[in-house]
Structure 1
């Protein structure tokens, strides 16, 4: 009886079939996404307040640093689960430990924006990463064919965590030196999968990964819908045409962003390592800019309601710049591989126009260009 119970709770972590039919996200993965988005929302809120106060550069750098930690921990777990999710009790418990780490990070992001206090952010991040190390060690034990790859992951991730703890203990540091050291830590983290996978690719499931990324982008775009709701909530105190316009423009832009992401073309057409790394890593630009668009609309609401120290044009660019980066991100991971000739430059061209139009037509011009971008790209897709 005890042996039977133990076998149900602790099963070998063998690799999943890369051609497994009907592979879909699990309820546990969906819960993990929701917890992750709490941390993303905290980072977007920090960016919103920093821009509203006029701290453009510092706010952007802090947002980029916080977002990288959240996204990187999410991405690493997602690819691991695609290859080794055996849904036993220990896998579930370790995933819940990762969620606890994400919530700890979320709790520390406000302090990070206020004073560069990294304590809770680093503690939460290290919790998430060490839980993943345990998962990789389980994989190394159960999958002899990929043991070297799994041990490279476990060792590389552990080394990176030592670096972050040393950085935490070295605080306070001059701001410039801090960002330089943070960039070096980021490079160390990014290098681990590239080196580990060269010892043998893990058995991640291509369609499952594409679905997982798509589900997160939907939740991230929900941040922009929340900003639209905030604008309408302000209208309840008395009609304001500017706030109504912000809400409508937010809807048009987020719907266009969704449409452009979920196009008929294959997002990841091959399991080739270089292509997978480009697609997987490049999505940070898409996810971060998607969250930043919501922060930009929140800034605009503050501007219109006289709660910001910046003007309307700054608010417009707080939206236009991340929208343009979102288009560039989609071009980077998908369109430059999907189309040939002039068609592959549709998104970069519209990104450039979006950066110009706030000077001429305010935010309504950005929404119009996004709709035109959808129409032009869809027409091109039909022609191809």
Structure 2
């Protein structure tokens, strides 16, 4: 399969999502009575999923049908306007910004649907059938979400996310047909890698935020070294696997990459929030420790889910590796709860865990 190059407008498109991801991540920075209310955790999920799916929709269209023509660039430019509107409307106060958010999100999804329907005219055989299935399937999901305007109170949100859920499930329903038009694996992995870089940017924001307010210079240096070690270990584990350990010629529907990265991205956002929560907010230690190690374990699960199938067989982690990682995570979690250790020690444990994870994944042959 020839390598489809990421074009410049795709990179520009990604930058539009920087603010959207930041807004979703900052939703978790609401502490009341030394804990994060469940309400804000739910809102984090409800904000993050439409962002991820809006980005995925255009990325997958470009991957399968994009030709980097003037037509494609114009459609992507139109979509950027809707992405900006959607991003500007993201808020924990859903009611106030509901209409502009709905217009922005539906604009993004309708553009993708129109692109697929337009592709029907120029494609043949399986490619034509898949374009038709996805184009009209996504259109149905968008129309269901549009129907939320007919309702008030919680019902409109139910209808909105019912449409989003239908949208997300459409490719899964048609998987047996979609896999006949496999993704361009190198391009898709590169695109997700680029968005992962944006998520790593949230870690840098967290680190800088702490250093800016930390009065003790030695504490600042220590926190900087620990958090940056954690980030670099995550980066090393992810991108060493992406660049050296996966078979980019593997032809699939790409759904493991797409849906697995939702887990990766959400857990990364939570871990980035954990860094700030531990040192800038009055959050209970037990709550903070639980969120930190739970999100870390979810990240391990997400990266394992995405990359295991695509790894060369000689590079695949074995069951003993996964059991060891889970055991170490749980052990550090329990020790952090039971022992009288401060947050710096917990941060050291988190950094060491990610270094250990990077070591196992990069050295495994």
Is 1:106 matched with 2:90?
no
Deviation digits for residues 41-61 of structure 1 (CA, Å, limit 9, x no counterpart): 111112223679734321111
1:123 aligned partner: 103
Across the aligned residues of Structure 1 and Structure 2, the Cα RMSD in angstroms comes to 2.7
Shifted more, 187-196 versus 58-67: the winner is 187-196
In structure 1, runs of 5+ residues without a counterpart are: 1-18
Instruction: Give the paired residue count.
Output: 349
Is 1:219 matched with 2:219?
no
Shifted more, 251-260 versus 337-346: the winner is 337-346
Contact 2:211 2:224 in 1 (8 A): yes
Contact 2:289 2:333 in 1 (8 A): no
Cα distance between partner residues in 1 of 2:355 and 2:245: 19
In structure 2, runs of 5+ residues without a counterpart are: 340-344
Shift of 1:362: 2.2
Shift of 1:346: 4.6
Is 1:234 matched with 2:213?
yes
Cα distance between partner residues in 1 of 2:7 and 2:117: 22
Deviation digits for residues 338-360 of structure 1 (CA, Å, limit 9, x no counterpart): 23342344544444345435324
Cα distance between partner residues in 1 of 2:228 and 2:89: 31
Contact 1:285 1:329 in 2 (8 A): yes
Shifted more, 51-60 versus 123-132: the winner is 51-60
Cα distance between partner residues in 1 of 2:83 and 2:349: 37
Change (3 A) 1:106 1:183: closer
Shift of 1:281: 0.9
Is 1:255 matched with 2:237?
no
1:10 aligned partner: none
Shift of 1:321: 2.9
Contact 1:279 1:333 in 2 (8 A): yes
Q: TM-score, normalized by length of structure 2?
A: 0.85
Shift of 1:300: 2.5
Change (3 A) 1:254 1:171: farther
Contact 1:59 1:113 in 2 (8 A): no
Change (3 A) 1:182 1:241: farther
Is 1:49 matched with 2:30?
yes
Deviation digits for residues 273-324 of structure 1 (CA, Å, limit 9, x no counterpart): 3xx2123211100011112222222222322xxxx4x334434444333222
Deviation digits for residues 214-270 of structure 1 (CA, Å, limit 9, x no counterpart): 1111111110111111111223xx326555444333212111111111223106662
1:371 aligned partner: 355
1:372 match: secondary structure: helix
Deviation digits for residues 179-235 of structure 1 (CA, Å, limit 9, x no counterpart): x65664443122211234533533531111111111111111110111111111223
Shift of 1:62: 0.9
Shift of 1:129: 0.4
Contact 2:264 2:299 in 1 (8 A): yes
Cα distance between partner residues in 1 of 2:110 and 2:318: 43
